[in-house]
Every structure is written in C-alpha cells, then in structure tokens.
C-alpha cells in the first residue's frame, strides 16, 4: 500500500519523518517494509504522490492542496485534527474514500490544559492578571475544586479528558451531549435541550463540543445570561460555540468571574480586537490540545490502529461522519 | 480554660465565630462547655481578654497588639500562619508559653495552586499572557508534565502538597531540605548544600521553604544562572528566598521560560514597581495557600489537636521552634 505523509509547508514543530513512522510501526508490532511510505513537504511532493497514494495523512490546511485534483487510488484520508468543520462541505472527498479525524490524540494534553484552566478559574487567575496589567495589588482569594459544579458540553476526547480530572478533584460533573448516555466521570449526562435548566447552577462551564449546525452559537447571549454571576467559562471547542461579543461584554462588566478561551472567531485574533483588552480573560492561541513532543507519534499510533481495522474489515474507530459533522 | 480568639480588625473573609468553634469542637468529639471561649475583634476586646486568657488564637498582624503587655495566664499561642518570620525576634513571647504555627492548614489549597502553577508553566501561560498584554497572536506550544524534572526546595506542608500532585502527574521530583530524609513523592531528597548540583537539570523550580537565616536569598543571581534557559520558577515560600531583581532581569531577557510568583519583597508590591511589567511572569498577591471557605475551620481543627496533645502531655505537632525558625 502506498501511504503518503504530507507535512504542512513551513512547519517545523509538528512534522512527520521516517524515523517517527518506523517507531510507530514498531510500537504496533508491524513490519516496516509492508507499505511504501513517502513523506512530502512541498506542493510538488504532494502532487507527485497523488496518482498512486492509497492513504494520505495530513492536516486540515494541507489537504486543501488536493481539492479538485485526482487521487484515483485514494482509500483512506487521515486528518491530524479532531474538528474538521473547516473542511465542509465534503464534495472534495474522493468517492469511496474513508475520512478519519485524529480523535484521541489530544486526550493527555487537553486533559492537563483543562484541569489547569479549571484551577486557574477557581484561583481567579484571570482577575489577578487583569490587576497585574493595571499594576494594582489587590488580594484575590480562590477556593479548592472539591464539591463545585462543572458542566461540560461535549464528551468526546476533549470533554472526557477534562471530566476525568474534574471528577478526580472532587467536582460534581454534569455532562451535556447529543446522545445523553451515562459517562463514568459525570454524575449525570443530559441532552443539549436540557442546557438551559443546568446553567443557573453551573459554576464552571466547559465548552468542548465540535462546531456543527446544532452547536453553532450554542452559548448565545441569552444562555450566557442564565449563568450565575460567579460563574466562569472555559472554551476548548471552537470559537463559534459562543457569542464572543456577549462574553466580552459580560467579562468587562464583571457579570462573570472569569474566562479562559483557547478558540476564537476569527483566528488569529486581529490586532486591535476588543478581546485583547477584555478584563478577567486569559487568551490561549488555540494551542491547548497539542503537545509537539507527543502529537505526531500519537497520531501515527491512531492511524495504524485504523489501518489495521480497515485491513481486517472491522469498523474504523476514527471514521468521521460527514453527515453529523464529527 | 479560657481560650480567646482574636479576629483581625477590619477583616471580613477570614473570621472566627462561635458557630465555627462549636462545629470544630463537635468534629473533634469534644464538649462545647469544657472551655470558656471569648471572641474579639477590636483592640479593646483583645485587651480585656489578656489578664485571664490561657490560650490565644490569632494572626501574625494581630498578635503584635499583645507585645509588651502582660498576659500572665497565657500558656498556648496559636498563630494562624505557617511562616512566622515576621514575628522574630521572639522576646515578646511570655516565658513558658508555647508558640504554635498553622502548619497543615494550607495543604489542600496550596497543593491545587502548586499543581495549577506547574501546569501553567508547562503550558507557557506566562508567555501567552505577555503576548495578550501586547495584543499579539503568536502560537505557543506547551507540553504535558509526565517525565519532567521538578526540584522542590522545602518539603513542609506546602512543598509536600506540591510534590504529591507532581508525582501523581508523572513528574520526576527532587526534594531539597535541611534534613534530607526520604519522602514518598520524591525520587531523591538532598540537603541544601546539593542545590547547585541539581539546578542545571531542573526544568521546574519550586520554592516552598520558610524564610530563615539559612534560606534568605537562597536563589541569588549566581544560583538562578545555574538553571537551564527553558527552566521556570514557582515561589510560594517567601519573597526573600530569591534575588527578585535577578529573576526580573532574567525573565525580561528571555533567560528563563516563565515564572509564577505569589510572594514578593516588599508586599504589597508598590505602584510603578518593575515587577508589574516584567515579561513572562504571573503575579499572585500572596493568596495561594488560603481558601476562605475552609481556612479557619481547618485552623480550629489543628488547634484542637494540639490542645488535646497538650492536655495529655504529648508533643505538640505544631510547636514552632524559634531557634530554627519553623
């Protein structure tokens, strides 16, 4: 099988190389000579692989270089992101090819980021940083996490990883997801239609859902105003899940305790945008889920698990459902 | 026994009241009528209690109201701080009275704060906040904690609590303390004279020691320069443990990855001080260890444990050794 790995042009931190591939094959107990593996960086490299590649591994930005070009042998498309909303509509996908996302890669890193953010909000770091920026010493007291209510919207890899840490620190975790099946780290899991009813008793709101037609602008101004005034917000899903102007207004007015946001509309945040000066807000530049030390090796492990499933006629764990959007 | 609780004047968050005392006595399985308990707030209240009080519970600032005044019956002095460096020299202590600090109260809160700070440093939040202040979007990538070396100076309540979390997240913990006895969460514990030899391989440096003649200016400019350039620093001990100008210079120059500091020289940090604009630094206003929801109830639990030990002729767990300073 011809497997092509296309690195993003100009990227230096998150790149695949042959040694990384060989190490992943060795971890999976495979034969390093089983497949023909090519690794590209330039658009010409990508184009040279297209006629024969049967599997491609690349990122959301780079896959666009394939749009409208023939890749007649292509059967497996593995994208190294979890959220593929930026690739819709899906008409670029060759007929019969299976699309996979990178669900699962982010668990370790995003779990630690999520726990960090919950602790930062509990310790009121956003407010401390706002005072620091103003050059003002003011005592701000935080509290421990145990017993405090957190609502996590989305229980995929990201939301589950955060739920696990939150539960281990004694928080009372409510999960919200499309299919409200029980979750081991949640005291209850409710459908998205129940969100309005849980917001008034939510102290920590974590947004970890994919961006779909069902979740776009989910936290609009009305819903944000259902939160109590001491509530705080963490968004590690997509900027489009929230009415960004509404949360900026509320943070500036002291209507919320604080926020940690990793995702925005648009990205990058433009120079001079009001987000840069919003009070009681910590801005992380959409890097919460990715650890350069572990990201690509873990991605290859996940790809090889899916390849093995495909070769053995089993369902692919990372198959992306274009109809539902995750 | 006459036990007097003197609240700090003007304090509203951290105050003792009768219901809190009764609840603590109930938790300890005691008899609420065994002691005569008075609770004061004004200097007059304190003065009225002095002639007969046999135990006093108060804070470092308030105890100064007793300096030079007779408290002839006083046997037990319980101070609601852990570090009593601000009360030296000790000649104010009535002869025969036992001084106790509040060692142990801070474990839950400071452990979470310490873990938060390690995660913030691993995720490079200080740098993100510096970019946010400048209104600049720049991708900054962090890494997970597992396998990374942390050196914790001081393994009392604070250092031990941080060591526990660090070990649970897979960090390699080196402890430094005056008496280098083994510690369950440290792969090794070394004496303070070994500090120079461990700094070059230290990625995270946590200062959690008391301020004594042996630790004052411990992290001077020479020792700070033994750290690698990607190292980061957390100080939850005392500002005087570190050469503050040296760390500001190094942070501004990018010679360190980042710092979270909770303690400073002096406090409050004066208006216009260089700390306010130092890069890659998060300032917490000396509130890391205290949770208003749990602090005073926990303090009373600890006092009652010590009272019981004293009544039964056992050693007092919180006895403060004025000779060594902790």
Residue spans of beta strands (DSSP E) within A41-196: 55-58, 76-79, 98-100, 149-153, 172-176, 188-190
> How would DSSP label each residue in A137-161?
---------TT-EEEEE--SHHHHH
CB-nearest to A271 from B120, B135, B283 is B135
Closest CA in chain B for residue A139? B285
Tell me the CB-side half-sphere exposure of residue A78, using CA atoms within 13 A: 28
Closest CA in chain A for residue B115? A116
CB-nearest to B143 from A142, A288, A293 is A293
What's the whole-number mean pLDDT along residues B191-215? 97
**Model-level pTM?**
0.89
Interchain proximity B139–A287, CB inside 8 Å:
yes
**What interhelical angle do A125-134 and A107-122 show, nearest 10?**
70
3-state helix, strand, coil in chain B (%, to 5): 35, 15, 50
Q: What is the pLDDT of residues A284-323, one digit of tens each?
A: 999 999 999 889 999 999 999 999 999 999 999 999 999 8
Kind and range of the H or E run holding A206: strand A204-207
Alpha-carbon distance A75 to A91, whole Å? 15
Q: What is the pLDDT of residues A261-294, one digit of tens each?
A: 999 999 999 999 999 999 999 999 999 999 998 8
pLDDT the model gives residue B128: 98
Q: Is the pLDDT of residue B11 over 90?
A: no
Please report, for residues B207, B222, B284, B287, the alpha-carbon distance to residue B236 in angstroms, rounded to integers and kept in the order given: 6, 21, 10, 9
Helices assigned H by DSSP within B50-189 = 60-63, 107-122, 125-134, 157-168
Alpha-carbon distance B222 to B211, whole Å? 19
pLDDT the model gives residue B10: 86
Alpha-carbon distance B85 to B321, whole Å? 11
> How would DSSP label each residue in B146-183?
TT-EEEEE--SHHHHHHHHHHHHTT-EEEEE-SS----
Kind and range of the H or E run holding B2: strand B2-6
Closest CA in chain B for residue A280? B129
What's the whole-number mean pLDDT along residues A212-233? 97
Alpha-carbon distance B281 to B296, whole Å? 31
- Which residues of chain A from 274 to 303 reach within 8 Å of chain B, CB to CB? 276-277, 282-288, 290-294
Which residue, among B113, B162, B108, B106, has the nearest Cα to B284 in the 3D structure?
A: B113
Closest approach of A3 to chain B, Cα-based (Å): 28
- Which residues of chain B from 101 to 130 reach within 8 Å of chain A, CB to CB? 108-109, 112-113, 115-116, 119-120, 122-123, 125, 128-129
Interchain proximity A112–B169, CB inside 8 Å:
yes
Q: Which residues does chain A have within 8 Å of residue B145's beta carbon, measured at their own beta carbons?
A: 112
> Using 50, 70 and 90 to split pLDDT, how confident is the model at A13?
confident
Q: What is the pLDDT of residues B273-326, one digit of tens each?
A: 999 999 999 999 999 999 998 899 999 999 999 999 999 999 999 999 998 888
Interchain proximity A138–B285, CB inside 8 Å:
yes
Q: Which residues does chain B have within 8 Å of residue A292's beta carbon, measured at their own beta carbons?
A: 141, 143
Interchain proximity A142–B282, CB inside 8 Å:
no
Alpha-carbon distance A178 to A185, whole Å? 17
What's the whole-number mean pLDDT along residues A114-136? 98
């Amino acid at each position: 099988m011809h497997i092509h790995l296309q690195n993003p042009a100009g990227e230096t931190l998150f790149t695949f190389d042959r040694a990384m591939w060989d190490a992943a094959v060795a971890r999976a107990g495979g034969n390093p000579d089983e497949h023909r593996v090519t690794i590209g960086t330039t658009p010409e490299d990508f184009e040279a692989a297209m006629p024969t590649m049967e599997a491609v591994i690349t990122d959301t930005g780079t896959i666009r270089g394939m749009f409208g070009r023939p890749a007649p042998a292509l059967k497996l498309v593995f994208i190294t992101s979890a959220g593929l909303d930026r690739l819709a509509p899906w008409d670029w996908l060759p007929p019969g090819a299976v699309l996979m996302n990178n669900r699962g890669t982010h668990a370790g890193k995003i779990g630690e980021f999520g726990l960090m953010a919950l602790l930062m909000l509990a310790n009121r770091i956003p407010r401390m940083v706002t005072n620091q920026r103003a050059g003002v010493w003011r005592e701000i007291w935080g509290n421990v996490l145990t017993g405090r209510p957190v609502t996590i919207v989305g229980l995929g890899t990201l939301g589950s990883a955060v739920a696990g840490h939150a539960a281990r620190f004694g928080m009372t975790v409510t999960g919200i997801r499309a299919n409200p099946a029980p979750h081991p780290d949640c005291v209850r899991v409710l459908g998205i239609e129940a969100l309005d009813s849980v917001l008034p008793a939510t102290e920590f709101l974590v947004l970890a859902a994919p961006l779909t037609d069902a979740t776009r602008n989910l936290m609009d101004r009305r819903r944000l105003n259902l939160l109590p005034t001491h509530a705080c917000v963490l968004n590690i899903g997509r900027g489009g899940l929230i009415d960004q102007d509404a949360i900026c207004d509320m943070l500036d007015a002291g209507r919320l305790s604080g926020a940690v946001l990793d995702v925005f509309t648009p990205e990058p945040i433009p120079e001079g945008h009001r987000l840069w000066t919003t009070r009681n807000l910590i801005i992380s530049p959409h890097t919460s889920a990715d650890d350069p030390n572990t990201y690509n090796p873990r991605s290859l492990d996940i790809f090889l698990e899916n390849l093995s499933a495909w070769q053995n006629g089993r369902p692919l764990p990372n198959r992306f459902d274009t109809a539902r959007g995750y």
